Amino acid sequence: MRKKIVAGNWKMNKNFQEGIDIANELVKDFNPSDSNKKLVVCPPFIHLSALAELFDKSEIGLGAQNCHTSGKGAFTGEISSEMLKSVHTQYCLVGHSERRAFFFEDNEELYQKCKQLLVKEIQPIFCCGELLEDRKEGEHFDVIEDQLEVLWKLSKTDFEKVVIAYEPVWAIGTGETATAEQAQEIHAFIRSQVAEKMGETIAENTSILYGGSCKASNAAELFSKPDVDGGLIGGAALKAEDFLGIYNAL
Ligand code: PGA
């Protein structure tokens, strides 16, 4: 059975102590309802090591927001997958729309990042999603298809570790959520693409998360759709109570 996941992306928010405070609240109040339903926190790099310790005895998973395409070397300011592994990071976002837009990450770079993570047995949470103009032009399926190309270059064994997140860019941080039907339509399309390239069994086992203004009040409806296996949460992951409210909708 594929995993249900609610992952929180803190982005560039929270100083060290503020991050510790949220993590402590999560540890205190988190009641894993089922071993198949995962809660994952993706804080900025500076928090990873401390949160790994705080989460050690809880069921909360730890993710990073980025890693470099190379294993090590003269890349000032960058972080490698080996460094992430050394502080017990289990997941890492790849290809978030903000990284595509502000740091010009392209398919080749995203493929290299996935490879680096998979060598260290860190699960990529691969993000895809169309811009508002793509949707207006009716090109959303084509855009997603092109973004997914990165994943078809992976071996089946590697691909099985990947979590996919569909995040329409027009819904990120805007308060405008995709309707549950719009999310389901794209999630079903993504799963059909996985089935075509990797086979039915792998497609059935792939977790596909929805992201974009997901909150406790709309999560249950989104998660009720058959191909929506959880959420990637930005703003609403910055308060433990809100974030756990979304988890409880799984
Ligand atoms: P949001 O962000 O929940 O604040 O819309 C989602 C994301 O960017 O992952």
Q: For this structure, is 96 an active site residue? A: yes
Contact 173, 136 (CB under 8 A): no
Question: What H or E segment, with its residue span, contains residue 21?
Answer: helix 16-29
Contact 57, 102 (CB under 8 A): no
Q: Which atom of ligand 1 is nearest to the CA of 211?
A: 6
Identify the bridge partners of residue 8 per DSSP, sorted by sequence position. Answer: 41, 233
Question: Active-site residue among 96, 105, 130, 140?
Answer: 96
pLDDT at 175: 87
Pocket test of ligand 1: the residue of 6, 10, 131, 167 to mutate, having most ligand atoms within 8 Å of its CB, is 167
pLDDT at 244: 98
pLDDT at 176: 86
Residues at CB less than 6 angstroms from ligand 1: 9, 167, 172-173, 211-214, 232-236
Q: Which tens digits make up the pLDDT trace of 118-152?
A: 999 999 999 999 999 999 999 999 999 999 999 99
Nearest residue by C-alpha to atom 9 in ligand 1: 234
Cα gap 64→7, rounded to integer Å: 11
What type of residue is 62? L
pLDDT at 122: 98
**CATH code for the domain in which residue 196 is found:** 3.20.20.70
Cα gap 144→23, rounded to integer Å: 33
Pocket test of ligand 1: the residue of 9, 66, 176 to mutate, having most ligand atoms within 8 Å of its CB, is 9
Q: Which atom of ligand 1 is nearest to the CA of 173?
A: 5
Q: Is residue 158 packed enough to be buried (19+ CB in 10 Å), middle (13-18) or exposed (0-12)?
A: middle
Q: 232 C-alpha vs ligand 1 centroid, how far in Å?
A: 7
pLDDT at 242: 98
Q: Which tens digits make up the pLDDT trace of 221-239?
A: 999 999 999 999 999 999 9
Q: Name which of 30, 215, 7 is nearest 91 in CA terms.
A: 7
Q: Which atom of ligand 1 is nearest to the CA of 172?
A: 5
Q: Which atom of ligand 1 is nearest to the CA of 165?
A: 9
Query: Could you tell me the pTM of the whole model?
Result: 0.97
Q: 212 C-alpha vs ligand 1 centroid, how far in Å?
A: 5
| Structural domain total, the chain | 1
Q: 109 C-alpha vs ligand 1 centroid, how far in Å?
A: 22
Cα gap 213→219, rounded to integer Å: 10
Structure tokens at 129: 């999603």
Give the residues of the chain that fall short of pLDDT 50.
none
Q: For this structure, is 160 an active site residue? A: no
Residue 165: domain span: 4-247
